[in-house]
Structure 1
Amino acid sequence: MRTEYDFSKSKPNPYARKLKQPVTIRLDESTVRYFKQLAQELDMPYQSLINLYLRDCASSGRSLSLKWRPKKSGRAA
């Protein structure tokens, strides 16, 4: 191994933007089970399948329609 290296001719990594960022998310057990089962059928890691699904949602501009019920004010007597 050299004691010093010359990086003057080095180039930036062209794949750096495509690197994946590890995150921690909490998913329902049934959701994880669903993706694990589907991933097994497709012969691929379930994390990759979840990533593909979320990427498809993002690129398609898909959004959820969530409606929250307002919290009732006051207490029941």
Structure 2
Amino acid sequence: MKSDDNEDLENDIQPEYDFSNGVRGKYVGRFPKDAVMVLLAPDVAAAFPDAASVNEALRILIKAARTAKPAA
């Protein structure tokens, strides 16, 4: 990134935002490196209490898709 772009970003921050005590990478270790984050629609997210239930449902769907016979 060019230094001019960096200055534009710094000037774009509103005065009420105070990041002076921020810590870079504070939460980076929470997720495995191969984790993929996706955004679920609110109605879909409401159907699943946690990540494990989402993964279980997707595994069932994958298994069903693999065993389904293609339409002729």
TM-score (norm 1): 0.28
TM-score (norm 2): 0.29
Q: Which has the larger radius of gyration?
A: 1
